[in-house]
Amino acid sequence: MNRFLAYLFLAFISWSCAAQGNSEMNVKPEVNLEQFQRPKLVVGIIVDQMRYDYLTRFHSKYGSGGFMRLIDGGFNCKNTHFNYVPTYTGPGHSSVYTGTTPRNHGIISNSWFDKIEKEFVYCAGDDSVISVGTPTAAGKMSPHRMISSTFSDENRLFTQMRGKTIGISIKDRGAVLPAGHTANAAYWYTGKTEGNWITSSYYMDVLPQWVQDFNASDAVEYYLKPWNTLRDIQSYTESGDDLNEFEGGFYGKETAVFPYDLVKLAPQNGNLDILRSTPYGNSLVTDFAIAALKNEKLGTDQYTDILAISYSSTDYIGHNFGVNSKEVQDTYLRLDLEVERLLKYLDKEVGQGNFTVFLTSDHGAVDVPNYLRSVNIPSGYIDGLLVKSKFSEYLESTFRSKEIVENVSNNQVFLNKAELERLKLNKDEVCSAIIDEIISYDHIDKAYSARTIHNGSFTSGIEALLHKGFNQKRSGDILIVNKPAHIQYSQTGSTHGTGLNYDTHVPLLFYGQGIKKGQSLEYVPITSIAPTISALLKMSYPNAATGQPLYFVLD
How many CA atoms within 13 Å lie on the side-chain side of 381? 15
Q: Is 13 a member of any domain?
A: no
Are 486 and 480 in contact by the 8 Å Cβ rule? The answer is no
Residue 488 falls inside a structural domain:
no
**The predicted structure's pLDDT at residue 37:** 83
pLDDT (mean) for 281-294: 98
User: How do residues 315-348 score in pLDDT, each as one tens digit?
Assistant: 999 999 999 999 999 999 999 999 999 999 999 9
Measured CA to CA, the distance from residue 397 to residue 391 in angstroms comes to 10
> Is 251 in the same domain as 213?
yes
pLDDT tens digit sequence for 90-144:
999 999 999 999 999 999 999 999 999 999 999 999 999 999 999 999 999 999 9
> What was the pLDDT predicted at 306?
98
- State how far the Cα of 30 lies from the Cα of 49, in Å rounded to an integer: 35
CATH number, domain of 77, equals 3.40.720.10
Any domain includes 501:
no
C-beta of residue 64 within 8 angstroms of C-beta of residue 478: no
The CATH number linked to 394 is 3.30.1360.150
User: Do 282 and 344 share a domain, yes or no?
Assistant: yes
High-pLDDT (> 70) share of the chain, %: 94
Angle at the Cα of 349 (from 348 to 352), degrees rounded to 5?
60
Are 344 and 474 members of one domain?
no
Rounded to the nearest 10 degrees, the angle between the axes of helix 89-98 and helix 529-536 is 30
The overall average pLDDT reported for the chain is 94
365 and 391 together in one domain: no
Same structural domain for residues 362 and 388? no
Residues 293 and 340 in one domain: yes
Judgement on whether residues 232 and 352 belong to the same structural domain of the protein: yes
Residue 227: its H or E element? strand 226-227
Amino acid at 537: L
Q: Quick check: 298 and 305 in contact, CB under 8 A?
A: yes
Task: Name the band, by pLDDT with cuts 50, 70 and 90, for residue 5.
Answer: very low
Determine contact, residues 158/540, Cβ cutoff 8 Å: yes
Please report whether residue 27 resides in a domain.
Answer: no
Residue 14 confidence class, pLDDT cut points 50, 70, 90: very low
Q: What is the mean pLDDT of residues 236-248?
A: 98
Is position 32 within any domain? no
Q: Does 506 map to a domain?
A: no
User: What average pLDDT does this structure show over 416-441?
Assistant: 97
pLDDT recorded at residue 24: 43
pLDDT surpassing 90 at residue 35: no
Average pLDDT over residues 204-213: 98
Residues 472 and 527 in one domain: no
What is the SS3 assignment for 382? coil
Same structural domain for residues 346 and 390? no
Helix (H) or strand (E) holding 98: helix 89-98
The residue-averaged pLDDT of 6-21 equals 38
pLDDT of residue 9: 38
Q: Is 237 among the domain residues?
A: yes
**Cβ-based neighbours of 550, under 8 Å, separated by 6 or more:** 25, 77, 510, 524, 528, 532
359 vs 7, residue with greater confidence:
359
| Last residue in a domain, options 444, 466, 483 | 483
Active site residue 159: no
- % of the chain beyond a pLDDT of 90: 93
- Among 89, 98, 165, 360, the active-site one is 89
Distance CA(510)–CA(434), nearest Å, equals: 46
313 shares a domain with 177: yes
Between 7 and 465, residue with greater pLDDT: 465
Question: How much is the average pLDDT of 478-482?
Answer: 98
Tell me 259's DSSP state: -
Q: Dihedrals φ, ψ of 4, to 5°?
A: -60, -45
Q: Are 360 and 524 in contact (CB under 8 A)?
A: no
Rounded average pLDDT over 27-56: 80
pLDDT score for 12: 39
- At residue 184, does pLDDT exceed 60? yes
Is residue 13 predicted with pLDDT exceeding 70? no
Q: Are residues 332 and 471 in the same domain?
A: no
pLDDT tens by residue, 493-508: 999 999 999 999 999 9
pLDDT at 414: 98
Number of domains in the chain: 2
pLDDT for position 532:
98
pLDDT confidence of residue 11: 40
Which value, in Å, is the radius of gyration of the alpha carbons in the chain?
Answer: 24
Q: So what's the pLDDT on residue 157?
A: 98
Structural domain boundaries enclosing 404: 380-483
Q: Is the peptide bond before 259 cis (omega within 30 degrees of 0)?
A: yes
On whether residue 391 sits in a domain, the answer given is: yes
Cis (ω within 30 of 0) for the bond into 86? yes
**Do 220 and 328 sit in the same domain of this protein?**
yes
For the cut 90, the answer to whether the pLDDT of residue 20 exceeds it is no
